[in-house]
Amino acid sequence: MYAILDIETTGGKYNEEGITEIAIYKFDGNQVTDQFISLVNPEQPIQPFVVNLTGINNDMLRNAPKFYEVAKRIVEITEDCILVAHNAKFDYRILRTEFRRLGFDFERKSLCTVELSKKLIPGLPSYSLGKLVRSLGIPLSDRHRAAGDAQATIKLFKMLLAKDVEKDILKEHVRKEPKFSMDTKLVYILDELPSETGVYYFHDENGEIIYVGKSRNIRKRVNQHFTNENPKSKEMQRRVASVSYEPTGNELIALLKENQEIKEIKPQYNKALKRDIFSHALYHHIDDNGYVNFKIGRASRTRNSITTFSSLRSARNSLSRWVVEHELCERLAGLHGGTGNCFAYTIKSCHGACIEDESAEAYNERAKQLIRKYSYENQNMLLIGRGREVDEKSALLIEDGKFKGIGYFNLNHQVNNLDIIRSIITPMENNRDAEHIIQSFLRKKHNFKIIQLSIQD
């Protein structure tokens, strides 16, 4: 027995949608033996684009039953049935989410007519319900309403059953969870994850961490791991038993924690960070005429650099912008060779240091501004950013040009001296990769407030 299903929703954030209309037809392979059709009060507003699409508006649902009032009927009509829907992963996810909110674990086998159609009727230009049934000559009325779409799905399913002579494809496509081709274990794991910025950890059945990652949306990123078809992802999908996570409030702290924990834990499925995550660096020296010169070169562990870059192209693009920003000389910045004045001098953006028309003292002051801005060597500063909660801020401490760690404080807490700052900071390792992550992040547009600290022993 089959339960042909179609659901309309409010739209909105993933796993926060509500049902606005549901239609279920009990089908024995030949005819409908029972049916249930109802509007549902989702207890939340419908997204405007959904109103335009379905014609269902908030006023229509004011007196409609809430989901808990129709839940028993849904359980009864789908009992011992295989759920069938067009894009079943969506309808089944929505239904299970609603039941889970009630504390009930709703579970049925399911079939997706999109996947069956692609197997049994290959080569069609589109497998959306409207275009598919139109190309097959199946009538469709009340498009984007639950009853109309479900009735069209019944007719489509009957055609698919007829085409599946050996029944092999039907058997192949029956599975507990159609959602993104994930098995039940992965779906349960994903349902518990937040759409927040932070670090996440894949654990095997023994609790060992086998993978560390970071994302601005943990649930979305883990979902990509769970639906990826490459061999590494498939192997992780088989081995992962649980996923834990740590919200960080902002991407910079997530990057730093991911970097440190991969180095410390050395998870099996993370690439070993044997090499630095940057390849080039910006250096400076004073030439024979007393002018500050800049040069991009390969990153070196034996030379102190102003800042580092992940590629030569990134380095050249950044330095080109900074030269314009600080009105420096292209030739002294190593961007152009040759002798005489640089091109920037002809358009008056260089003041003539290349031909000693500008004093070294005046030129070097602007060059040092660049160095101070893009290097935190010998600097003492606190970076204040978004915290994990609305009433919280994050803090990242740099002392004497060294990254010390991160912490969080409540907005009511006064961070006004170094002792208080140190007390909220969780120490982290200062290494070249951490330095690169911080410098690269601060070069971009960011929402951190930078407080220069006066360190006194």
DSSP-assigned letters across all residues of 289-320: TS-EEEEEEE--SSS--SEEESSHHHHHHHHH
Q: Burial level of 454, CB count in 10 A (0-12/13-18/19+)?
A: exposed
How far, CA to CA in Å, does 204 sit from each of 235, 266, 325, 327?
11, 14, 51, 55
Start-to-end CA span in the chain (Å): 79
- Reported as a single tens digit per residue, the pLDDT across 257-266 is 999 888 888 8
pLDDT of residue 176: 35
Q: Is a pLDDT exceeding 60 seen at residue 174? A: no
Query: Same CATH fold, 184-265 and 2-178?
Result: no
Query: What are the residue ranges of helices labelled H in 32-183?
Result: 48-54, 58-61, 67-78, 88-101, 113-120, 129-135, 146-163, 168-173
Percent of the chain residues past pLDDT 90, beyond the cut:
42
pTM: 0.54
Phi and psi for 63 in degrees, rounded to 5? -105, 10
Q: Is a pLDDT exceeding 80 seen at residue 18? A: yes
How far, CA to CA in Å, does 207 sit from each of 8, 76, 194, 210?
40, 39, 20, 9
Query: Of 455 and 112, which is predicted with more confidence?
Result: 112
| DSSP letter string, 124-166 | -S--SHHHHHHHTT----STTSHHHHHHHHHHHHHHHHHH-TT
Task: Say if CB 334 and CB 296 are below 8 A apart.
Answer: yes
Residue 272, SS3 per DSSP: coil
- Cβ contacts of 343 within 8 Å, gap of 6 or more: 330, 336
pLDDT of residue 169: 46
Q: Is a pLDDT exceeding 80 seen at residue 17? A: yes
Residue 192, SS3 per DSSP: coil
Phi and psi for 347 in degrees, rounded to 5? -105, 15
Q: Is a pLDDT exceeding 90 seen at residue 36? A: yes
Q: Is a pLDDT exceeding 60 seen at residue 179? A: no
The answer to whether domain 2-178 has CATH 3.40.50.460 is no
The CATH architecture annotation of domain 184-265 reads: 3-Layer(aba) Sandwich (3.40)
Q: How confident is the model at residue 180 (pLDDT cuts 50, 70, 90)?
A: very low
* Lowest pLDDT segment from 178-187, 205-214, 268-277, 432-441: 178-187
Domain boundaries, the chain: 2-178, 184-265, 280-374, 381-452
How far from the centroid of its chain's Cα atoms is residue 348's Cα?
44
Phi and psi for 278 in degrees, rounded to 5? -130, 160
Percent of the chain residues past pLDDT 70, beyond the cut:
92
Cα 407 from Cα 7, distance rounded (Å): 45
Task: Say if CB 431 and CB 275 are below 8 A apart.
Answer: no
The token pair at 136 is 């097959």
